[in-house]
Amino acid sequence: MIEATETRFISIPYGKSSLDLKLQGSWHSFILEGKDIDPVSDLDAAVQQALENPTGAPRIAEAVCRTDQVVIVINDITRPVPSGILVQKIAQELEKAGVPDQQVKILLATGTHRPNNQEEIKNMLGPDLLKRFQVSNHDCRDEANLVYLGVTPGGTRVVVNRLYAEADYRILTGLIAPHHAAGFSGGRKSVIPGLAGLELLKRHHSLDGRIFNPAMGCLEGNPFHLEAVAAARIAGAEFILNVVPNSRGQVVAVVAGELEEAHMAGVRVAETMSRCRLPFLADIVITGAGGYPRDINLYQAQKAISAAEMVIRDNGTIILVAECAHGFGEGVFVDWLVEAKSPQEVIERFRREGFSPGASKAFFFARAAARCRLIVVTTNLPGDLLSQMFMEKATTLEEALTMAEKPIGCNHIVAVIPRAVQIIPEAAGECGERVCYFNDRETP
C-alpha cells in the first residue's frame, strides 16, 4: 500500500490501454497494489520445471497409461491464462508416455458462460494445437452430456461434464488469484463451476452455499470453497497445472501436482502478493478490474466492485473503471436489476429464487448498491440503462470524481485499486479494529 502525500499520477488499466488519474496532494489517498514480484524469466522453462517436479502427485509421463483417454481442461476467453504454453507442455508429457493425440481431448471450462468460437480458441491455443486435438466447450444445460456421480457431505448432487467424468486421466489448468466468493481461483474451480451442470451451479452459487459478503482471500470455513473441493474430489482430478500471476498479469510462479496440495502452494504465493491493508475505511474507492480481458464486459468487471466493497465506508462511493468493449456481457443480470425498484428487492429475490445464470451477478451489484453509490467510468454502456441498474455513468475519471464529491475535501479518504481482482483489500474500522467481511459483518 502506498499513501499519496503529494500530487501524483497513477494509471488504471482500461481495456487494452489505461486511464490516468491525478491524485491531489490535499486528498488523504491510498494506492492499493500488490507486492511487486518479478515474473519468471522463461515461462516455458518454469512450466516444464513444475511438470517435472509436481507437488503431491506423480509426474504425468509416469502416471498416465498409453491406453488412457485424457482430458485437458482449460479456461475460457474471459481468463488471462497462457493456455497454449500449458497445453503444449502437457502434450509433451503425454507424448513421453506414448498417448496418441486422438486419445487427448481439450475441454473449455465455461461454467455458465457462452461457448467460445473457433477464432477465440485459436487465439488461446494456437493453430497447431487446434489441429492436433479435439476441442469442445462445456455446456451446463446439455443434459445429454452431463452425468451424475454422487453427493457431497454438504448435500450437493455432483453432476458434471460427461466427457470429463468418463476420462481415465484428467488435467486441470488455470490461474490462482484472489476470488470474491471462492477465496482464490484455480484448482477445484475448473471443475466447479467450470464443468458443472446447471442444477449443481444453482445450489452452489445460491445464498445457502456462500457467504453474503465478499470473501476474497478466505478459504478456511468458506462453504463455497469447501463444497467445490468436495465436488471436484467426487468428479476426479488426477493432476493440476496452474499459474500464479502478479497484479499486472505476469506469471510469477507455476504449480503442478495434486488437486489441493499444488493449489495451496500457489495460494501461498498469491497471498504474499495480494494482501493490502488500509488504516481506515475509505469514503471513495476507485477500482479497476485490470484491463482486458477482465473488463471485457460489465459482467466480468463486477469483480472489481467486490474488492472495493471490502474497504468502502457505508454510504461511500465506488468508482468502477471498466471499458466494457463487449457491453454488459449477459442479459439476465441486467433484467433483474432493471425490473427491481431497489437494490434490496434484488437481494430478497435472490434469497427466494436462488441462483440462475446472471442472477448471482445481479445480487453482487445490488449488494454493493445497497451500501454505497456506484459510478461506472466507460464510453461503451448507455447511461440511461445504467441508471435503471442503480449505477451512474461517467465518461472520464475526472467526471466521476466530480460526481463523487464537489470537491473532494482533505478529510476524505480515497482508495485507488488499479487491478482489484488481484488484490485482497483489508481495512480497519472506526476504532482501529480490522473489518472482516467474511466472518464478522452481519448480512442484511
Active site residues: 113, 179
Residue 21 and residue 419: Cα distance in Å, rounded?
14
Among residues 338, 341, 360, the alpha carbon closest in space to that of 351 is found at 360
From the CB of residue 219, how many other CB atoms can be counted at a distance below 10 Å?
19
The tally of CA atoms less than 13 A away on the side-chain side of residue 105 is 20
3-state DSSP call for residue 302?
Answer: helix
* Contact (CB, 8 A) for 165 and 236: yes
- List strand residue ranges (DSSP E) for 93-229, in order: 104-109, 134-137, 146-151, 157-161, 169-175, 178-179, 183-184
* Contact (CB, 8 A) for 6 and 313: no
* Contact (CB, 8 A) for 377 and 19: yes
- List strand residue ranges (DSSP E) for 225-354, in order: 239-245, 251-257, 275-278, 282-288, 312-321
Among residues 112, 280, 272, the alpha carbon closest in space to that of 204 is found at 112
Specify the residue for cell string 474488492.
307
Residue 403 and residue 333: Cα distance in Å, rounded?
25
Q: State the cell numbers at 30.
A: 491510498
Q: Which DSSP state fits 39?
A: P
